[in-house]
Chain A
Amino acid sequence: VRAFVRLLFVGGYLSYRALFGWLNPYMYLGTLVVPSLTQLAFFVYLGRAAHVASDAYYVAGNALLAAALPGLFGMAQAIAGERYENTLALLIASPANRIAVFVGRSVPGTVNGMFVSVCTLALGTLLFHVHLPLRALPGLALAIAVTSFACVGLGLLNAALGLRWRETAILSNLLLFVLLMFAGVNVPLDRLPGWMSTLAQGLPVTHGAKAARALAGGEAFTGAFGLIAAEALVGTLYVVVGLVAIRVFEREAQRGATLEVA
């Protein structure tokens, strides 16, 4: 148990440090916070031009979506980074518990997603003068935490796919585009074709963003709780599927000797 916990937290922490070893704090802001904020601003202006919804709709939704950036790209690096540094084979050959290794890496990813999301929400509300009721803040914090967790769940699946396909940057971008388009962050779900809004129910961010918008709109926490619970369920499913996929693809890579060349 001690080794498991050590691997979970110390391993996760060291992996996270390695991820940002080459960056300074300005680079962190420039890589994660500023792009998320400018994306939010872009959709606020597009929303104003198209007369679709209020600024609050885009600020809340895109702030939640900001958690996907570190979740998807950071987790993909859990595999791609090891491959780049030629340590992937060592990791796979080690007897370390896979759940501890990869869930450990997802913990800092979740915290990172929360931080980026909170920064984007705070700066977005200030920039566009969106009023958030004080009583909505605890609920919003929970919605952000759960959405970050769900995004990291999808990130785990993304990392697993990295064992099969080298182009993790493309995979991460594609998944981000899917969220941008399907999750109801910019186009209300009832305005999307039926198959798209149905698919959105199984994606991270969809329920979290809806909860955040409801809370920002003045709804009581109890009204948004069901949506947050749905987001947590979606996230948990992705974590489980991601861990299983890592195990399956790891064995396949060992069998086919494709670990470094996938």
Chain B
Amino acid sequence: VTAVRIIWTSFVINLKMLGTSSFFLLMSTVQPVIFASIAFFMYRTGNRAGTLLYASLGAGMMGVWSTTLFGSGGMIQWQRWQGTLELGVGAPPTLALLYLPFSLANAFTGMYALAATVLWGRIVFGVPLRFAHPWLFLLSLPAVVVALGMMGLVLASTFVLYRYANALANLLEYPVWIACGLVFSTSLLPSWTHPISWILPPYWGILALRHAALGGAVWAPLGMVVALAAVSLAISFATFGWFEHLARARATLSLT
């Protein structure tokens, strides 16, 4: 019961905090719309207008990843700047449990991105919104968001030790967009990159959403999303414990 209360309360508080951040609103609405527009223009130019919903979903997922990434990167750093990181470490619950709702809220904010790109595509580019499996789409969406939240938690744990988290976040934005094939097929990529794609939740997440929207098998990629979310959660609890111990032993917790 205590864990559920911690998760719910922190989730709501962080959601409110993110709602007041212009940077997050930019990341979760403006950026995805820009990338969606570029993808729309490019697919249209190449006479591939049938792929507009495909591009719309992909650009939305790009936004979910960006908010998760920058949210996770900033999460620990903001706590450092505000002087509350030590309080979190000193609190009775484990650090991973404390930051789990923060990461979920980051990914949840990313859902605005999907809503923004789908609406933008419909209103400005006339993208038809006919979903092959609407109920499965609604089921896949929260699963994907939770999985990305878990992945964000793993990243955030490394930032307990690493002071330049935002710089690392910059590094990981485009590579994950590319490796997961969010707006193009991964078959275009060199074959050595495919195993990297397979271990990333957004790869399976976009497959589940795409198949639910455009037709195709949803349950298999959705199962992978859930499995990878569970693995990420387990990894994050282990790494948070380990990195927290290292940071305390080296006395580097509050170094900014």
Using CB atoms and an 8 Å cutoff, list the residues of chain A in contact with chain B.
Answer: 23, 27, 30-31, 34-35, 38-39, 41-42, 45-52, 167, 169-170, 173-174, 177, 180-181, 186-188, 191-192
Q: Tell me which of B30, B46, B171 contacts A50 (CB under 8 A).
A: B46
Which residue of the partner chain B has the closest CB to A169?
A: B23
Give Cα A41–Cα B189 distance, bound, in whole angstroms: 10
Task: Determine how close the nearest CB of chain B comes to the CB of A87; give it in whole angstroms.
Answer: 19
Q: Tell me which of B22, B39, B171, B184 contacts A48 (CB under 8 A).
A: B184
Instruction: Given contact pairs A23-B164, A177-B31, enumerate 11 new A-B contacts (beta carbons under 8 Å).
Output: A27-B164, A30-B171, A38-B175, A45-B184, A49-B43, A49-B183, A49-B185, A167-B23, A170-B22, A170-B26, A192-B41
Give Cα A243–Cα B26 distance, bound, in whole angstroms: 27
On whether the beta carbons of A191 and B45 are closer than 8 Å, the reply is yes
Give Cα A173–Cα B178 distance, bound, in whole angstroms: 20
| B109 CB within 8 Å of chain A | no
On whether the beta carbons of A50 and B26 are closer than 8 Å, the reply is no
On whether the beta carbons of A50 and B178 are closer than 8 Å, the reply is no
CB contacts (< 8 Å) of B170 on chain A: these are: 30-31, 35
11 chain-A/chain-B pairs, Cβ below 8 angstroms: A35-B171, A38-B171, A39-B174, A42-B174, A48-B184, A49-B183, A49-B185, A167-B23, A169-B23, A174-B26, A186-B38
Give the interface size class of chain B.
20 to 34
On whether the beta carbons of A187 and B171 are closer than 8 Å, the reply is no
On whether the beta carbons of B174 and A31 are closer than 8 Å, the reply is no
Task: Determine how close the nearest CB of chain B comes to the CB of A102; give it in whole angstroms.
Answer: 25
User: Which of A27, A38, A48, A169 is most buried by chain B, counting CB atoms within 10 A of its CB?
Assistant: A38
Which residue of the partner chain A has the closest CB to B184?
A: A49
On whether the beta carbons of B26 and A173 are closer than 8 Å, the reply is yes
CB contacts (< 8 Å) of B34 on chain A: these are: 177, 180-181
CB contacts (< 8 Å) of B164 on chain A: these are: 23, 27
Task: Determine how close the nearest CB of chain B comes to the CB of A186; give it in whole angstroms.
Answer: 6
CB contacts (< 8 Å) of A38 on chain B: these are: 171, 173-175, 178
CB contacts (< 8 Å) of B158 on chain A: these are: none
| B99 CB within 8 Å of chain A | no
| B168 CB within 8 Å of chain A | yes
On whether the beta carbons of B23 and A35 are closer than 8 Å, the reply is no
Beta-carbon contacts under 8 Å, B74-119 to A: none
Task: Determine how close the nearest CB of chain B comes to the CB of A240; give it in whole angstroms.
Answer: 28
CB contacts (< 8 Å) of A46 on chain B: these are: 38-39, 42, 183-184
On whether the beta carbons of A27 and B184 are closer than 8 Å, the reply is no
Given contacts A30-B167, A35-B171, A51-B48, contact A45 B189 (CB under 8 A): yes
CB contacts (< 8 Å) of B167 on chain A: these are: 23, 27, 30-31
On whether the beta carbons of A30 and B46 are closer than 8 Å, the reply is no
Give Cα A34–Cα B173 distance, bound, in whole angstroms: 11
On whether the beta carbons of B177 and A173 are closer than 8 Å, the reply is no
Beta-carbon contacts under 8 Å, B179-193 to A: 183-185, 188-189
Which residue of the partner chain A has the closest CB to B41?
A: A187
Which residue of the partner chain A has the closest CB to B183?
A: A46
Task: Determine how close the nearest CB of chain A comes to the CB of B37; give it in whole angstroms.
Answer: 6
Given contacts A35-B173, A177-B31, contact A50 B189 (CB under 8 A): no
Give Cα A181–Cα B34 distance, bound, in whole angstroms: 7
On whether the beta carbons of B188 and A42 are closer than 8 Å, the reply is no
